[in-house]
Amino acid sequence: MGEFLQTMIGGLTLGAQYALMALGFSLAFGILRVINFAHGAFYVVGGYLAYWITNEVGLPYVLGVIVAVLGTAAIGYVFELFIIERRIDDHLATIVMTLGASLIGGAAMLSLFGAQAVQFEGGLTGTFRLGGVFVPHARVMIIVVAGLAIAAVYLLLYKTQVGNALRALTDDREMAVAMGMRPKVLFPMAFAIATGLAGLTGALVTPQFSLAPFVGEHVLMISFLAVILGGLGSLPGAVIASVLVGLVEAFVGTYVGGSWAPLILFTGILVLLVVRPSGLLGHRTIIDA
Amino acid sequence: MAESLLTIEGLCVRYGGIEAVRSLDMEVATGETVVIVGANGAGKSSVMNAVMGMVPSVEGRMTFDGRDVTSMPTADRAKLGIRISPEGRRVFANLTIEENILAGGYTMGAKDREASVAWLFDTFPLLSKRRTARAGTLSGGQQQLVAIARALTARPKLLLLDEPFLGLSPVAIGDTSAAISVVQAQGMAVLISEQMARPALKLASRGYVLRAGALRRSGDVAEIRELALSEDYL
């Protein structure tokens, strides 16, 4: 029972991490039609920003998280406005641009903080007892903050006029523009929200896992898979699939063996996509999109 | 004739090497309803899209409400008071009926938008009943009403209706015609394109006949009907 609970909490923490990442990735794809290969780099930059504020400047961790979110959102905003926006409809160009940004982000962190993983301290410490196991506060915090961030994105998209416009742009960009919506205003904003979510994830998670210049790639790949599994463009699908992926990873790790987790996970996703090419909640396939 | 709202002079639209519209002159007066009749591929949609700014006009001049809009971006034309109900309706499929109508009022202040939405639901009880239904799940006729309502939220000066009757049942054609009459009663100018011109001719006062991208004839609806009948357009 104890082991089950521990695995459950571990899986939910992973799932929350993937969900936040996948949500941002899915937003950028859905609204801008840009596959953001730099999404993992924003996670890393968010992690380092929080690390820098907390461990090098010496301010409280909460401030580190806030700076990470605002910093990555600002970088995302500028990157979209001045670089992506110029070639927004050229999918190959945006892939190359975001790949380039990803390499630059990693290389910048490498020069500033070195190749070694840094020891990120100052996040939440301590544990509490639940059903006979010790649960770290930090894990609960990750799950709660991720839940709140997802709720905030939901409220923005479904309860505000800007959110309505963003969803209209997702459905039919040309018609949305014909209603007076301006991609040049709304796209940088949407991209900033997406990269800010990646920065938030990095700031929350890297004190628990590891922080090195290229750790974002693994997280990006898993989130990308979750996005496809959930149904490309479906935000609820991305979140649900991310939690599933986190749970599968944790449970396979505990009950089958850690090294089996990726194999079982990726095979499972492949089989599922053969059976249901549009993903769990998707209504379009990767090819239509 | 009343004051001219939209004036098109020498419009040319090209896709790659193909000339979709050739040196077209056209005019719509304030509050007037004008029909563009033509067979499939005659260039009707190209004219509509060029007025909205969704395809560039390679030659010619276009003025709207006293301003040169020839090279004005689409969103700015929308702000000036042009709205389109496009060919194939193109409602926002994942948005509800209400959200579609709200999206049409994106350029308005919150208060005006709410008032406009209330008026539209009042005018189209069919939409009001299903306001929380996703637009993608509706029938073609219902989607056409959503597309028209969405184009009306911002109370445009000029409404472009690109083949609003295409593929609709007789009942839905009746509903759509009724909706267009509501627009006319509001004093908005309407430019309708149609292959099947009969319902559109009942609504319009003047018309243009296009063939292979060029203007073949223009005149009042009686003349257009005569010409169209003689050439098997109807």
DSSP string for residues in A79-140: HHHHTGGGGTT-HHHHHHHHHHHHHHHHHHHHHHH-SSPB----S---EEEETTEEEEHHHH
- Give the pLDDT of residue B216: 86
A169 located within any domain: yes
Cβ A180–B154 below 8 Å, yes or no?
A: yes
User: Which DSSP string corresponds to A142-203?
Assistant: HHHHHHHHHHHHHHHHHHSHHHHHHHHHHH-HHHHHHTT--HHHHHHHHHHHHHHHHHHHHH
Which of A168, A180, A181 is opposite residue B95, by nearest beta carbon? A168
Task: Determine the pLDDT at residue A192.
Answer: 97
Determine, for residues A178 and B92 on separate chains, whether the beta-carbon distance falls below 8 Å: no
Indicate if the pLDDT at residue B39 is higher than 90. Answer: no
Rounded-to-integer distance, Cα B184 and Cα B191, Å = 11
Quick one: pLDDT at residue A288? 42
Instruction: Classify residue A258: in a domain, yes or no.
Output: no
| Secondary structure letter of residue A285 according to DSSP | -
pLDDT for B233: 52
Q: Name the residue range of residue A6's domain.
A: 2-213
Closest CA to B157 of B129, B114, B186, B132: B186
**B140-186 tens-digit pLDDT:** 999 999 999 999 999 999 999 999 988 888 888 888 898 899 889 98
As a whole number, mean pLDDT of residues B179-205 equals: 86
pLDDT at B189: 94
Q: How does pLDDT run across A199-243, given as a tens digit for each residue?
A: 999 999 998 888 999 999 888 888 888 888 888 778 888 999 999
For residue B107, give the chain A residue with the closest CA: A180
Total number of domains constituting chain B: 1
- The pLDDT value recorded for residue A283 is 60
Residue A84 has pLDDT above 80, yes or no: yes
| Domain annotation covers residue A263 | no
Residue B234, pLDDT score: 46
Instruction: Give the domain extent around B131.
Output: 4-230
- Inter-chain touch A167–B79, beta carbons under 8 Å: no
- Cα separation, A146 vs A153, in Å, equals 11
Closest Cα in chain B, distance from residue A157 (Å):
11
Task: Give the whole-angstrom CA distance, residue A47 versus residue A43.
Answer: 6
CB A41 within 8 Å of CB A223: no
* Closest alpha carbon within chain B to A179: B104
Does the pLDDT value for residue B56 go beyond 80? yes
Please tell me the distance in Å from B227's CA to the nearest CA on chain A.
34
Q: Residues of B with CB below 8 A from A164's CB?
A: 95, 99, 102-103, 106
Share of residues in chain A with pLDDT > 70 (%): 97
Q: What is the pLDDT of residue A20?
A: 95
Total structural domains in chain A?
Answer: 1
Q: What is the pLDDT of residues A32-44, one digit of tens each?
A: 989 999 999 999 9
The minimal CB distance from A164 to the residues B84, B93, B102 is found for B102
Sort strands B189-194 and B158-162 into parallel, antiparallel or unpaired: parallel
Give the whole-angstrom CA distance, residue A192 versus residue A69: 10
Nearest to B95 among A167, A177, A182 (CB): A167
> The CATH number of the domain where B155 resides is what?
3.40.50.300
Residues of A in contact with B54 (CB under 8 A): 174, 177-178
**Record: contact A180-B110, CB cut-off 8 A:** no
Does any CB of chain B come closer than 8 Å to the CB of residue A205?
no
Inter-chain contact A177–B74, Cβ cutoff 8 Å?
Answer: yes
Whether the CB of B134 is below 8 Å from some CB of chain A: the reply is no
Dist CA B86 CA A178 (whole Å): 10
Kindly list the distances between the CA atom of residue A24 and the CA atoms of A93, A222, B199, in Å, as whole numbers in the listed order. 20, 13, 48
Give the model confidence (pLDDT) of A122-155 as tens digits: 777 888 887 778 888 888 999 999 999 999 999 9
Q: How far off is chain A from B232, nearest CA to CA, in Å?
A: 33
A218 touches chain B (CB under 8 A): no
Mean pLDDT of B29-54: 91
pLDDT (0 to 100) of residue A287: 40
Predicted local confidence at residue B219, as pLDDT = 86
Q: Do A171 and B83 touch (CB under 8 A)?
A: no
Amino acid at B62: M
Whether the CB of B107 is below 8 Å from some CB of chain A: the reply is: yes
Please check the confidence at residue A23 and state whether its pLDDT lies above 60: yes
Q: Please list every residue in chain B whose beta carbon sits closer than 8 Å to the beta carbon of residue A180.
A: 75, 78-79, 106-107, 154
Cβ contacts (< 8 Å) between A172 and chain B: which residues?
90, 92-93
d(CA B78, CA B83): 6
Taking only the tens place, the pLDDT of each residue in A51-76 is 999 999 999 999 999 999 999 999 99
Residues whose CB falls within 8 Å of the CB of residue B170, separated by 6 or more in sequence, listed in order: none
Q: Does the structure show a pLDDT above 90 at B81?
A: yes
- Comparing CB atoms, the residue among B75, B79, B95 nearest residue A171 is B95
What is the average pLDDT score of chain A?
A: 90
Chain B residues touching A178 at Cβ < 8 A: 52, 54, 74-75, 78, 83-84, 86
Task: Please list every residue in chain A whose beta carbon sits closer than 8 Å to the beta carbon of residue B52.
Answer: 178
Backbone angles phi, psi at B193, to 5 degrees: -110, 145
Q: What does the pLDDT read at residue B42? A: 87
Picking from B232, B147, B171, B145, the residue whose alpha carbon sits closest to that of residue B197 is: B232
Residue A120 has pLDDT above 60, yes or no: yes
| pTM for the structure as a whole | 0.87
Question: pLDDT value at position B65?
Answer: 93
A14 shares contact with chain B (CB less than 8 Å): no
**Is residue A236 domain-resident?**
no
Q: Which of residues 150-189 of A touch B (CB under 8 A)?
A: 161, 164-165, 167-168, 170-172, 174-182
